[in-house]
Amino acid sequence: MVNTSSDQEAPGALEPVRTLLNTWLIPNDTRQAEDRFEAYADQAGLPRTRRKELRSLRDDLRQAVEHHADTAAIVNDWVERLDIRPRVVDDAIAFTGGGHAADHVAAVLEAIAAGRWHRLKACPDCRWVFYDHSRNASKRWCLMTAGGPGGRSCGGIAKVRAHRERTRATR
């Protein structure tokens, strides 16, 4: 079981990006990292020829969300690689480029332009990617309390751990 709270969903076209990023996860029950990309690709009807590219995009974007790499460098590399270009369509900006990966990169570009990209975060404990809807964008963990019978309360667990360490240090 993983955290699936609907209040973690990203707005608009950023939600499919969050879903893609969460095809790599650490399930609450086993605590062993799992790559569920193939099941995601099968369900999406993604041709085998496009899977390597999309998995590579997922891995790169996870590095950006987890702050292990420079977001600008990653996104700019993908924009060039996929030859994505902006176009004005019906008084709005749209991006050229076909395929699943290009759609995800376009969603990231739109989120960056709207100032929403930084709200996509990875929990430091379970590494589940969530969208931070808090007013000041200060949410750190996926959930403070268990989101269901199999849910993990990473924030609560971290606070208990910190409390125990402080208590142990004062003894």
What's the pLDDT tens digit per position in 81-140? Answer: 999 999 998 988 888 876 789 999 999 999 999 999 999 999 888 888 999 999 999 888
> According to the model, what pLDDT value does residue 93 have?
87
Nearest to 8 by CA among 169, 114, 154: 154
What's the pLDDT tens digit per position in 6-44? Answer: 678 999 999 999 999 999 988 777 778 999 999 999 999
CATH architecture of structural domain 6-170? Orthogonal Bundle (1.10)
pTM to 2 decimals? 0.83
